[in-house]
Structure 1
Amino acid sequence: MIAPTETRAVLRWQDGTARQARREVAEETAIALTYGGSTQAVMMATPCDLEDFAVGFSLTEGIVTSAADIEQIAVEETELGLDIQIELASPRNAAFVSRRRAMAGPVGCGLCGIESLAEAMRPLPALAPGRSRLKADVIANALRRLPKAQVLNRATRAVHGAAFATPAGFFVVREDVGRHNALDKLVGALARAGIDPATGFIMVTSRLSVEMVQKAAIAGAPVLVAVSAPTALAIRSAEAAGMTLIAVAREDGFEVVTHPDRIDFTRLETTAEEGHIDVA
């Protein structure tokens, strides 16, 4: 299988001197997501955590409603890239085939596997109020842990990360050259492990475009945190879905853009355990 990184020789100019050096670079591979022999989407992505990717993409794009709707996942390597072959359970497969037949043809809205501009702006599920308010210090502590947990990005400085954290200290990260792909991988990892996104919050290392809000809302995440800023459409979508959107997030502060009632700004008396617990 294709490795997620490779090492390349470079000529490094530094402090007025040129010298030979080595750099680890992120792999970028064409990856097809194929359902019952029919390709739904082709992404340029990092070739790792592919089963998580398959499950997460299927969930966030509305192809399935739970990981149990997927019977089998197989990855085939070809000369041009990787083909993730996904077999759906019978009722879900029949609905997917019917949907494919109804498609009028390619459209120019720029999103994967959709049939119209109306579907690109599909209504999002209403997110339930938080089970308890999330302390701001918990978010700051998770942001502090995120760079150390991004193994691929530390090596290459070229991939996005998506992480899930809980107040109790649970923490898991998925990475990819594509920000949507990283989020799909995370959603898939949580679904395969039976973890409810409503028990914590999701963090992403990218800007908050509307697709990121849509994917997080469909996954059931009530709080989405980003190190960058949101678009206006992302803010409107989060407001309508009842999602708390947190932007420009750093260890020393952040901006709560929508539904601030979920956040508690009082100081923590103790800090959550920082042991890294990953999802296999």
Structure 2
Amino acid sequence: MNIKAVKHVNKIKVKNTALSRMQDRVVVEAPLQIELIFIDCLRNVVIESIASYAIMMRTPGDDQVLIIGLLYGQGVIKSIDDVIEICRDEHEDSKENHWLVSLKSDCLSRAKSSQSTHTSYSSCGICGTSFIKALEIKGSHAVDNDTHWLSINTIHRMVSGLSSRQDIFSQTGGTHCAALFNQEGKPIALYEDIGRHNALDKLLGSRQTFNNAHGKDVVVLSSRISYEMVQKVIVSGISVLIAIGAPSVLAIQAAQRFNITVIAFARDNSFSIYHGESRLTDK
């Protein structure tokens, strides 16, 4: 566990009318600034940069995989080969929160397109049809359309064992998690963050997942399912997304368009299937 992700703070606990002073562990939230630098590899020169491609709040730790996952999900990079270097800006006082990402020049137009169409998560007034068309233009891996390969009992095991693997959450109660399992329910990777989108970006940007995710792997979230969460899974080529929380209508529409299995309200040996039930088996 990254020590920077948790901080000890003082608190007063009230039980009935009794007051007790004690320490508590609280999850850390800090800003992350991503600066993109585009390199002409043939001439070895910088052709352009975007000083603040993204500024987000996140839990410190696993910043590199968070950045890779974000850029991959936004369609800026197509493979890890597009990334020349990722490093902290050593010239900044807040160097732990300011990262420089050098990319091949081919990524420049995709970055500008991504930045111009970027909309705050869970905002209002978004046209679902336009979003789904934009995702088609951005491109995605073809999902595995095989049927009857994921058992109901395996889903129950994945969900029931999720909380025991959340180290930061067990200390603070303040993080979301995104986990990757294979079709037998074996855990492959798990990442935590105060932001649910960040947790999934960390997972999809990790070595265990990026360019290695199998079509029959399964992503399990501790959060609800919004459109952006489905979008990230679609781009990765993973065909099953499970969540403890609820789905949105737009998330279901995107899943239907790209044939992603969406399962929500997964808890207490029960869940609801909103699309893609053909992948499940009761064996």
TM-score exceeds 0.5: yes
Code of the residue aligned with 2:245 in structure 1: it is S
SS at match of 2:14: strand
Q: Which residue number corresponds to residue 120 of structure 2?
A: 110
Q: Which residue number corresponds to residue 71 of structure 1?
A: 84
Q: Which residue number corresponds to residue 47 of structure 1?
A: 60
Contact 1:56 1:191 in 2 (8 A): no
Question: Following the alignment from structure 1 to structure 2, what is the Cα–Cα distance between the partners of residues 219 and 72?
Answer: 22
Q: Which residue number corresponds to residue 20 of structure 2?
A: 19
Compute the displacement of 1:3 (Å).
1.2
Contact 2:157 2:185 in 1 (8 A): no
CA gap 1:102/1:176 in 2 versus in 1, 3 angstroms: closer
Q: Which residue number corresponds to residue 159 of structure 2?
A: 143
SS at match of 1:199: coil
Code of the residue aligned with 1:142 in structure 2: it is M
Contact 1:190 1:197 in 2 (8 A): no
Give structure 2 stretches of 5+ with no counterpart. 38-48
Show CA shifts across 1:162-207 (max 9, x none).
Answer: 0001116233210111110000000011466753242310011111
Question: Following the alignment from structure 1 to structure 2, what is the Cα–Cα distance between the partners of residues 257 and 218?
Answer: 20
TM (norm. structure 2) is 0.82
Q: Which residue number corresponds to residue 29 of structure 1?
A: 30
Q: Which residue number corresponds to residue 270 of structure 1?
A: none
Question: Following the alignment from structure 2 to structure 1, what is the Cα–Cα distance between the partners of residues 225 and 210?
Answer: 26
Match of 1:62 among 75, 85, 89: 75
Q: Which residue number corresponds to residue 205 of structure 2?
A: 188
Question: Following the alignment from structure 1 to structure 2, what is the Cα–Cα distance between the partners of residues 107 and 200?
Answer: 30
CA gap 1:21/1:254 in 2 versus in 1, 3 angstroms: same
Compute the displacement of 1:147 (Å).
0.3
Code of the residue aligned with 2:15 in structure 1: it is Q
Moved over 3 A (4+): 76-81, 98-103, 105-109, 116-121, 123-126, 190-194
Compute the displacement of 1:54 (Å).
1.5
Question: Following the alignment from structure 2 to structure 1, what is the Cα–Cα distance between the partners of residues 280 and 158?
Answer: 15
Contact 2:261 2:275 in 1 (8 A): yes
SS at match of 2:161: helix
Compute the displacement of 1:233 (Å).
0.7
Say whether residues 1:123 and 2:126 are aligned partners.
no
Contact 1:67 1:191 in 2 (8 A): no
Show CA shifts across 1:28-71 (max 9, x none).
Answer: 11101221142211110011111111211111110111122212
CA gap 1:176/1:208 in 2 versus in 1, 3 angstroms: same
Contact 1:109 1:120 in 2 (8 A): no
Code of the residue aligned with 1:123 in structure 2: it is L
Contact 1:161 1:173 in 2 (8 A): yes
Q: Which residue number corresponds to residue 165 of structure 1?
A: 181
Question: Following the alignment from structure 2 to structure 1, what is the Cα–Cα distance between the partners of residues 22 and 278?
Answer: 51
Code of the residue aligned with 2:107 in structure 1: it is F
Match of 1:84 among 85, 99, 110: 99
SS at match of 1:64: coil
Contact 2:178 2:190 in 1 (8 A): yes
RMSD in angstroms over aligned alpha carbons? Answer: 2.7
Contact 1:26 1:158 in 2 (8 A): yes
Show CA shifts across 1:121-147 (max 9, x none).
Answer: 423435231376101111111111110
Q: Which residue number corresponds to residue 96 of structure 1?
A: 107
Question: Following the alignment from structure 1 to structure 2, what is the Cα–Cα distance between the partners of residues 238 and 61?
Answer: 17
CA gap 1:76/1:132 in 2 versus in 1, 3 angstroms: farther
Q: Which residue number corresponds to residue 276 of structure 1?
A: none
TM (norm. structure 1) is 0.83
CA gap 1:156/1:239 in 2 versus in 1, 3 angstroms: same
Contact 1:141 1:251 in 2 (8 A): no
